[in-house]
Amino acid sequence: MLWTRIASAVVLGPLFLAIVYFESPYFNFLVAALAGLMAWEFVRMDAHYKNRRRSLIIAASVLSVAVMSTGKVLPALTIIGLATVGLVIADQVAGRKGLHMVQIAVVYVALPALSLLYIVAADGSFSIFWLLAVVWATDIGAYAAGRIIGGPKLAPRISPNKTWSGAVGGLVSAVLASAGVLYWGAEQGMTVHLAFIAAGVSVVSQLGDLFESALKRRYQIKDSSNLIPGHGGFMDRFDGLWAAAPVAAALCLILGGGVRAW
């Protein structure tokens, strides 16, 4: 399994980074494809959702990304909102009372996808590279520190393998990765507030990982799918990025630009 994971990463990692580098329209197509695949993975967890509603969730997720690709933020958000409300109403009409996790599928999948497109529009590919470095360093650092140091569990009921040492290791790795990317791509040093931003994004990324673990535990599955050999599904691979993307997009909006303006 380890060698399968490595082989998948060696093949898919450079391809993903190349598409990020070339930006629009290639990056837009990539994000739309990821949104569709992740929506499919999300809805297949819930056996109550049949093909018609599954198709609605996937279509709404991809359509919102397509609309966002034209620069229309409000219509894209409107599609997400209408699809979510429609799912809740459809469940009520069908007699499935209460709120269910799959009803937020479009929000979970499409909002981060829109955020990635917004980040690219604000600062090109550089801010995406920075975000990827922070998220990936968090994953690698958490895994390494957890295996080497061990110690108390972070959230044993949700993800028994995660430790507090891993969480700290991931956070420290994210700050170091942020410093490296800024020096390499922006030729600027790491400031205190940028270190705090990287640390905050790292924490959000880890929370995204925990949320997806809780989701799989709720539906009693090991992986969201088996589409990526050795890694499981796209939700398994991009859970941290999908959580961190809206935070980075909010920073772009509030601070008036990408990471080089922060």
Rounded to an integer, what distance in angstroms lies between the CA atom of residue 113 and that of residue 32? Answer: 7
- Give dist(CA 184, CA 169) in Å, integer: 22
Mean pLDDT of 11-17: 90
Give pLDDT, residue 2: 64
**Mean pLDDT throughout 117-142?**
95
Q: Best-predicted range by mean pLDDT among 7-21, 27-41, 215-229?
A: 27-41
- Alpha-carbon gap, residue 3 to 153, rounded angstroms: 27
pLDDT for res 228: 85
DSSP H or E stretch at residue 160: strand 159-163
pLDDT value, residue 65: 97
| Position 137 confidence tier, pLDDT thresholds 50, 70, 90 | very high
Residues 36-89: tens digit of each pLDDT: 999 999 998 887 787 788 899 999 999 999 999 999 999 999 999 999 999 999
User: Is 246 a residue whose pLDDT tops 90?
Assistant: yes
Task: For 121-139, give one letter per residue: b (16+ CB within 10 A) or e.
Answer: bbbbbbbbbbbbbbbbbbb
pLDDT, residue 94, reads: 82
Query: Which tens digit of pLDDT belongs to each residue from 203-244?
Result: 999 999 999 999 999 999 988 988 888 778 999 999 999 999
Tell me: the pLDDT tens digits for 143-186?
999 999 989 999 998 998 899 999 999 999 999 999 999 988 77
How far apart are the C-alpha atoms of 160 and 48, rounded to whole Å? 28
Say whether pLDDT at 1 is over 70.
no
Token duo for residue 79: 């599609």
